[in-house]
Chains A and B, each alone.
Chain A
Amino acid sequence: MKSNYYILIIEDEAPVRDAVLRDVEKFENYFPVEAVQSAEEAEELIAAIQNEGGKIALILCDHLLPVKNGVDFLIESMQFPITRHAKKVLVTGQAGHQDTINAVNNAGLDFYVSKPWKTEDFQQVVKKQLTDFVLKEPGLDPIPYMGILDGAKIMDHIRNSGLAADS
C-alpha cells in the first residue's frame, strides 16, 4: 500500500545513509523513502514531492552537512506546508548543546538519535514517530497502518476520538 507520505533522509556519508536506509526498509511499502546528501538537495526534492501532491511524514536528518547544517534545514522546513507537520528526527553524533536546543525550540524536533544506534531501537523511534504522524494528519485514515506501526496505539486513538462507528 504505497502512500503519498514520504520518509526523507538527509545524510552525506554514504555508509551511514545506507544504514539508515536499511533500517527504514520495512516501512517502505507504506512510506516511500527518499535519501539525499544535502539540505539543498532536500529542498529540491521537497518541491518535487509537493508538485506531485505528496507530503513528508518523517525527516531523518544528519546535523553536519556540506553547506547548510541539519538544524538550520529543520528550522527552515517549518515554513514549507508539506514538511511543517512532518516528524523531525536528528540522527547525529555531532550536534552540540546549543544546536540541539535550537532544534527543539525552533524546529519542533521530535527525537534525537545519537550515532551509533541499534537497529531495533532506531526502528522503534521511526515506528513511534510515524504512528504519531498518521494519528495527527487530518483526513488520513490510520487503520491501514495498524500492521506496520503501533497498532494498539492506533486502536486506542480510534476509540477515544469517536472514529470507531459502525456503518
Chain B
Amino acid sequence: MKNNRTILKKFEFIGLVIGLLGSAFFLTGPFDSLTVAGHISLAIFWLAAWFYISEPIPVYATSLLVMLLGALLLSKEGPIFINAKPDLYTLSTDSTGIGIVPNSALFNQNSILVYEKGNWRTEPVSISKSTDSESTISFTANTNVPIAANAYTLNSGYEPLSYKTIFGTLANPIIVLFLGGFMLARGAVKYKLDNALTAYLLRPFGKKPAFILFGLILVTAILSAFMSNTATTAMMMTVILPIIAAVPDNDKFKTAIVLSIPVAANIGGIATPIGTPPNAIVVAALAQHKISIPFSDWVIMALPFTLVLLFLAWFLLHTLFKTDLKELNLDVNAKFNKSPKAIFLYFVFGFTILLWFTENLHGIPSGMVAFVPITLLTFGTVLDKNDIHSLSWEVLWLVAGGMSLGMLLDKTGVAVWIIQAIDWSMFNIVIILLVFAVIGWILANFMSHTVTATLLMPLGVSLGVSANLGDSYNVVIATMVIGIATSISMILPISTPPNAIAVATNLVNTKDMAKIGLIIGLIGIPLMLTFAWFYWTLFY
C-alpha cells in the first residue's frame, strides 16, 4: 500500500509539472495556426487535462481553477482583455475578389480573420503577390469586409466571453436539474424511501437465486437512474450484506450478488439525464449547439440499451458464478415511512418525475421542473439545513467547470484546431464514433467518468465542424456515444466509486470484477453503436 501510494504521489507530481510546463510553453505562442486567445485556451486545456488526470488537486478543484483562469485570462472583464479592442482593417476587393492586405493580417500564411456581426471566422485566401509589407489576395466576398489588421494580437479571432457566462455554467439548467435530483435523492435517503422501495420491489422476485439476482439488478438500476450510482450502491450493500451471510462461504453466488450491485448501478445511471454526471456533460454540450433533449426523450433513447445491457449483466453473473443454492430467503422488510414529511416527499418525488416524463406534453423544460423539488422540499424542513449542506455540491462544480472548459475550447477555436490535427476524411463516421467511444471507455476505467467526458466532449462535438464529415455527422449521436461510453467503464476497482465499494467488502476479487467489466465493455460498446445508428437516429 505504501509503495502504491508513493507511485500515486509521483504521478500527481509528474502531472503537476507537465501541466504547468506545457501551459507555460503554449503561452509563448508557438503555433502559427492558433490565435493568441487560442494559445491561452490551449494552455488552460492542457493544464486542466493533466490536473484532472493526475489529480494533484481534487478534480472539482481543477474545475474551479478552469473557471477562474478562464475568467481572468479570457473574459472581456479580465485584466488581459478588459482594454483590448479589435484592431480592424477594412478589406476592399474589386469585382473579381482581388484585394490588398497588410502582411500582418495574414493568419497562418493562408487565411484572414473576418469580423462580422460580432463574430470571428477564419477565411482561407490565395495569395497572388507579396511584397515586404503587403500581399495581394483573392477572396470570395466582394465588398468591404472588416478583418483583423494583425492576426496575432489579443482580440484577433476571438470575441471575448463575459466572465458571467464562464461562471454562469454553475447555474446552467442541467446543473439545476442535477441539484433537483440531489434534493430528491437526499429526501429518499433521509426518509428511507430507497430502502422501502427496494424491499417492495424485490418481493415479487421470490426465492430462486437467479430471480433474486435479476431483481437486485433491476432495482439497483432503477434507483441509480434517479440517485447517484454510488449512493445506490451504498444502500444496496446494506440490503445484500445480510442476504449474503446466509450463502455458504464457497458458493460463488456471493460474488454474483456483490458484483451485481455496482454493475447495475453503473449501467442504471445511463437511463436518465440525471442518472450520472457524464450525462450532464452530454446535455450541456448539446445545449451549446442549441439542442435541448427533453428528459423523456433521453429515457426513450437510452432505456432499451440500458435494459439489454442489464440483461447481459444478469446473464453473465448468473452463468459465470453458478450457485448450488436452490432457494435463498430474501429478508428485506422495510416499511414506508408514513410521517407527514415523508408523505410530502413521496408526493414531490412523484410529481417531479411525472413532470419530467411529460415534458413533451407541457413543454416545461426539465431544468425548470427541477426547481419544484428544490423549492418544495425546503418547505417545513422536509430537508433541513444539514441536509442541504450534505448535498454533493462538489459534483456540481466538477460538471460546471467541465462545461466552462468546453465553452472556452469552442469559442477560441481550440477544439476544432485539435481535431483538425488528424485528417478524419479517410474514416467512416461509424469508425470515428467507435474510436471516440473506445478511447472514452478505456480512459474512464482509469479516471473519473465525468472528467473523461469533459475532456473528450469538446473534441467530439467539433468533429461536426470539421467540414469533411458533412451531413453524416450527428451531434446528438456523437455526444451521447461519448458520454455513455464512459458509463460502461467498470473493469477496475478505481473505475467507479461503486466498484471501489464492492471490492472493499472483501467478498469479490478484482479478477472477477475485471472479467465482468471487460465483457460488458467489449459487448456494450458495439451494442451502443448499433443502438445509436439504428435507433437513436430515429429521434435526432
Contact = CB atoms under 8 A, between A and B. Distances in A.
Interface of A: 1-2, 143-148, 151-152, 155-156, 158-162, 164-167
> Interface majority SS on B: helix, strand, loop or mixed?
helix
B190 to A, nearest CB: 8
Nearest to A157: B234
A167 B233 CA distance: 14
B504 A143 contact: yes
Contact of B235 (A1, A148, A155, A167): A155
B237 A166 contact: no
Interface of B: 1-2, 59, 186, 189-190, 228-231, 233-235, 237-238, 241-242, 269, 276-277, 389-392, 394-395, 398, 448-451, 496-497, 500-501, 504-507
A164 B230 contact: yes
A146 B505 contact: yes
Nearest to B229: A166
Q: Which 5 A-B pairs have the closest CB atoms?
A: A147-B506, A162-B390, A165-B392, A164-B231, A164-B230
A151 B230 contact: no
A145 B504 contact: yes
A155 B504 CA distance: 11
A155 B501 contact: yes
Given A159-B189, A164-B234, A2 B228 contact: no
Contacts, number: 85
A31 to B, nearest CB: 13
A2 B2 CA distance: 8
A37 B228 CA distance: 49
Contact of A165 (B241, B451, B497): B497
Nearest to A145: B504
B63 to A, nearest CB: 12
A146 B262 CA distance: 15
Contacts of B394: 165
Contacts of B235: 155, 159
Nearest to A146: B504
Given A1-B1, A2-B1, A167-B450, A159 B231 contact: yes
12 contacts: A146-B501, A151-B505, A155-B241, A158-B231, A159-B231, A164-B233, A165-B395, A165-B497, A167-B277, A167-B448, A167-B449, A167-B451
A48 B391 CA distance: 40
Q: Which of A151, A155, A167 has the most CB of B within 10 A?
A: A167
Nearest to B58: A167
Contacts of A160: 189-190, 390
A166 B489 CA distance: 13
B334 to A, nearest CB: 13
B159 to A, nearest CB: 34
A5 B398 CA distance: 32
B255 to A, nearest CB: 14
